[in-house]
Amino acid sequence: MPRTKSEAMTDDPERFEELVREHQAMVFSMACRYLRNRALAEEVAQDVFLQLYRKLPALESPEHVLHWLRWVTAHRLIDHSRQEKRRPQSPLEDAPEPASADSISSADPLLSDMLRDLVAALPENARVVMILRYQEDLDPMDIARALDMPIATVKSHLQR
Amino acid sequence: MNLEDELRSALRRENPSPGFAERVVARAHSSAKPTRAIPRMIWAMAVAAMLAIGFTSTYEYRQMKAERASHDAVIALRIASEKLNLARERIVRREN
């Protein structure tokens, strides 16, 4: 029986690693922008890829993998922040990580940092919409599809 | 730069710490090997087979109980008939 591409990737550690390398910046950056904590973002990103590893045989194409990764990352982040709201936190855990080397190379590091803080302060759904719009450069229709959200809701989050 | 460009620049992708992919792969391979989810068809067939076995067993059990009851009834009738015959013979003997 012919095997699908994703099945072959599961069997081959190097190909799974390639897949992680291909998508790690997307998944990690979504988590990092959402959580404003690099260590926590890496943890969430690792969990997403482990979930991908288990799910790979059911994913049919690279596009399916990409769509699945965006969907799972977004929902995992929303769930994570909802759980965090219910749990009392120490002030140290709340503190954002220092800016990375990448962000220092921005045109205006102070403004970039302020914008990241503003995005991180948005409600869960609006935050994910903003990240998909400006990090992933998705149009409102693709965001609605990625999050199973009505297009009108996506547009209203973007217009606020 | 306008606000949209500033947002794009502020939220652009960045890479996790070096060795991230290796750590993920190591964790993935130390955990259980992925298993293909059992297709719904197989679940449906298993449930159907279990139901069929259940119905057949119930039917067979009832059938067996009915056969045993009719067998017991035949024996009871035979015993009753033998006793009646004995009683009739005794009466006949006394009358003679």
CATH number, position A65: 1.20.140
pLDDT in tens, B10-56: 898 999 999 999 999 999 888 755 555 667 888 899 999 999 999 99
Residues B65, B80: Cα–Cα separation, whole Å: 22
Of B8, B16, B34, the CB nearest to A53: B34
Judge whether residue A128 has pLDDT over 80. Answer: yes
Contact A24 B22 (CB under 8 A): no
Contact predicate A133/A143, CB 8 Å: yes
Q: What percent of chain B has pLDDT over 70?
A: 92
Residues A8, A3: Cα–Cα separation, whole Å: 7
Is there a domain that residue A71 lies in? Answer: yes
In eight-state DSSP terms, residue B11 is: T
Q: How far is CA A104 from CA A1, A67, A120, B1, B10, in A?
A: 51, 30, 18, 17, 10
Is there a domain that residue A99 lies in? Answer: no
Q: Could you list the residue range(s) of the whole structural domain that residue A151 is in?
A: 5-91+108-159
Q: Tell me the shortest Cα–Cα distance from A65 to chain B, in angstroms.
A: 16
Is there a domain that residue A100 lies in? Answer: no
Contact predicate A53/A16, CB 8 Å: yes
Residue-level pLDDT at A88: 59
pLDDT band for position A91 (50/70/90)?
Answer: very low
Whether this model's ipTM surpasses 0.90 comes out as no
In eight-state DSSP terms, residue B12 is: -
Residues A18, A20: Cα–Cα separation, whole Å: 5
Number of domains in chain A: 1
The token pair that represents A39 in the structure block = 């260590």
Judge whether residue A77 has pLDDT over 80. Answer: yes
Contact A115 B24 (CB under 8 A): no
Contact status of A41 with chain B (Cβ, < 8 Å): yes
Chain B residues at the A interface, defined by Cβ less than 8 Å, are 1, 4, 6-17, 20-25, 27-29, 31, 34, 36-37
Is there a domain that residue A32 lies in? Answer: yes
SS3 per residue for chain A: CCCCHHHHHHHCHHHHHHHHHHHHHHHHHHHHHHHCCHHHHHHHHHHHHHHHHHHHHHCCCHHHHHHHHHHHHHHHHHHHHHHHHHCCCCHHHHCCCCCCHHHHCCCCHHHHHHHHHHHHCCCHHHHHHHHHHHCCCCCHHHHHHHHCCCHHHHHHHHHC
pTM score, whole prediction: 0.64
Residues B34, B14: Cα–Cα separation, whole Å: 29
Number of domains in chain B: 1
Q: Could you list the residue range(s) of the whole structural domain that residue B23 is in?
A: 3-95
Burial letters for A35-64: b for 16+ Cβ neighbours within 10 Å, e otherwise? bbbbebbbebbbbbbeebbbbbbebeeeee
| Contact residues for A61 (Cβ-Cβ < 8 A; gap 6+) | A5, A6
Is there a domain that residue A101 lies in? Answer: no
Judge whether residue A87 has pLDDT over 90. Answer: no
Judge whether residue A98 has pLDDT over 50. Answer: no
Q: Tell me the shortest Cα–Cα distance from A88 to chain B, in angstroms.
A: 27
Contact A112 B1 (CB under 8 A): no
